[in-house]
Amino acid sequence: MSMRDPLYNDESTASIGGPETNVPKHVAIIMDGNGRWAKAHGMPRFAGHKEGVATVVKVVKTAVDYGVDALTLYTFSTENWKRPKTEVEFILKLPKEFLGVHLPELMANNVRIEAIGDMSKLPVATRRAIQYAIDRTRHNDGLQLNFALNYGSRQEMLSAMEAVFADLNTARLSLEELDEEQFSKYLYTADTTEPDLLIRTGGEKRLSNFLLWQLAYTEFWFSDILWPDFTGQDFIDALEAYGQRKRRYGGV
Query: Which residues are tagged catalytic?
Result: 32, 80
Q: Is 102 within any annotated ligand binding site?
A: no
Q: What are phi and psi of 187, to 5 degrees?
A: -85, 165
Q: Is residue 89 marked as binding?
A: no
179 has binding-site annotation: no
Among the listed residues 164, 153, 161, 56, the one whose alpha carbon sits nearest the alpha carbon of residue 111: 56
Cα 187 to Cα 160: distance, rounded to the nearest angstrom: 6
Residue 200, marked binder? yes
- The answer to whether the annotation marks 37 as part of a ligand binding site is yes
Residue 84 CB-density burial (10 A; 0-12 exposed, 13-18 middle, 19+ buried): exposed
DSSP tag of 177: T
45 is in an annotated binding site: yes
Tally Cβ neighbours within 10 Å of residue 37. Answer: 25
Q: Has 36 been labeled as part of a binding site?
A: yes
Query: What residue ranges in 79-231 does DSSP mark as E strands?
Result: 112-116, 144-151, 197-200, 219-222
**4 is known to lie in a ligand binding site:** no
Does the annotation flag 213 for ligand binding? no
The reply, when asked if residue 128 is annotated as ligand binding, is: no
What backbone torsions phi and psi does residue 29 show, to the nearest 5 degrees?
-130, 130
Beta bridge pairs of residue 199: 29, 221
Judge whether 33 is annotated as a binding position: yes
49 marked as part of a ligand binding site: yes
Q: Does 79 carry a binding-site annotation?
A: yes
DSSP conformation letters of 31-86? ---HHHHHHHTT--HHHHHHHHHHHHHHHHHHHHHHT-SEEEEEEEEGGGGGS-HH
Dihedrals φ, ψ of 86, to 5°?
-65, -35
Question: Could you tell me which residues are annotated as the binding site for substrate?
Answer: 33-37, 45, 49, 77-79, 81, 83, 200, 206-208
Question: Could you tell me which residues are annotated as the binding site for Mg(2+)?
Answer: 32, 219
